[in-house]
Every structure is written in C-alpha cells, then in structure tokens.
C-alpha cells in the first residue's frame, strides 16, 4: 500500500508544479475559446476511471465532492483569474495570488488525502479527488469562457486620425 501513497503524493506535487508552469505560459499568449474549453473536455476523459469497480464511490460522495469543488474550491481560482483585452487580443492577466491558491489547494489535497487514505481505498480517494477537481475546473473554465465571450463582444473604440 505504501507505494500507492508515495506515488499519489509525488503526482500531487508534480501536478501543482505543472499547473503553475502552465499558468505562466498561458499569460504570455492570447486566450481563445479553444484554449479555455479544451482542458475540461480533456479532463472529462478521466471519468473513464469509474468503469473500474475499485475507483467507484457512492453517488452522494461524488455529488458532495463535485459541488465542493465547484462552489467552494473554484472560488479562489475565479478571484485570481481575469481576462483583459489588449488591442485585438484577449489575454489572461497574471496574478501572483494564483500561485498561492494552487499551493494552498495542493496542501489541502495532501492533508485530506492523508486522512482519506486511512478510511477508504487509495483508488476511491483518487476518484473522489478527481470528481472534486473536475467540479472546480468546470466552474472555473465556464466562468472564463463567459468572460471571454463578453470581452469578445465588446466593441473596440475606434482610433481616428
């Protein structure tokens, strides 16, 4: 059982680092609808883990995890993510608070996982945290998409000579 816990911890740390690297790269290029929508669509393929019985969790746990992610844990991401128009482009505005939020969320995940792994199987814990993260990402990216569409539909002030 020990290797699963160690792999889980290491993958959580690597995941947090990758999110921070991705965020820095994301602020350097223009945002598009495709860049906003693809991550949750790609992540949704992870729902396939529930085909395997070892990963299954009760529906009430899944709903609680999903809504906790969407309503509580997505909030800091919403507060630290902002799209701005720069000329013709729409850019993600960099926020140093975002990095603190990611580190805090990773810490919460590691602490909660340490407890949950003693109560339920490592696979069920993975399913629970995936569901929580999916709710968080889905709400965050939906919010970004609507913000993007609003900025896209804004009329640009014309510059006349």
Backbone CA torsion sign across 117, 119, 123, 128 = negative
Between the alpha carbon of residue 11 and those of residues 6, 17, 96, the distances in Å are 8, 10, 23
Separation CA 135–CA 72 (nearest Å): 10
Q: What is the pLDDT of residue 161?
A: 44
CB contact at 8 A, 140 and 40: no
| Rg (alpha carbons) of the chain, rounded to whole number | 18
- The residue among 143, 124, 118 whose CA lies nearest residue 2 is 118
Coil, helix or strand at residue 85 = strand
* pLDDT of the chain, 161 residues: tens digit per residue: 457 667 767 877 787 788 778 767 777 788 899 999 998 999 999 999 999 999 999 999 999 999 999 999 899 888 888 898 988 889 888 777 877 877 887 787 778 877 887 888 888 988 998 999 899 999 999 999 999 999 988 865 555 44
CB 57 within 8 A of CB 128: yes
Residue in the structure block whose two tokens are 């729902």: 47
Q: How many CB atoms lie within 10 A of CB 80?
A: 19
| pLDDT (0 to 100) of residue 42 | 92
CA angle 133, 139, 145 (to 5 degrees): 130
Q: Which of 20, 27, 19, 1 is nearest to 94 (CA)?
A: 27
């Amino acid at each position: 059982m020990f290797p699963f816990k160690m792999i889980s911890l290491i993958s959580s740390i690597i995941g947090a680092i990758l999110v921070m690297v991705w965020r820095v790269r994301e602020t350097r290029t223009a945002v598009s609808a495709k860049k906003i929508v693809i991550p949750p669509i790609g992540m949704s393929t992870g729902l396939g883990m529930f085909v395997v019985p070892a990963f299954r969790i009760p529906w009430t746990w899944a709903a609680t995890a999903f809504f906790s992610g969407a309503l509580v844990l997505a909030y800091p991401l919403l507060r630290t993510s902002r799209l701005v128009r720069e000329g013709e482009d729409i850019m993600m505005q960099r926020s140093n608070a975002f990095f603190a939020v990611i580190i805090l969320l990773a810490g919460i995940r590691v602490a909660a996982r340490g407890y949950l792994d003693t109560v339920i199987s490592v696979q069920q814990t993975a399913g629970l945290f995936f569901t929580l993260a999916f709710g968080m990402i889905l709400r965050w990216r939906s919010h970004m998409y609507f913000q993007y569409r609003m900025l896209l539909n804004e009329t640009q002030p014309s510059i006349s000579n």
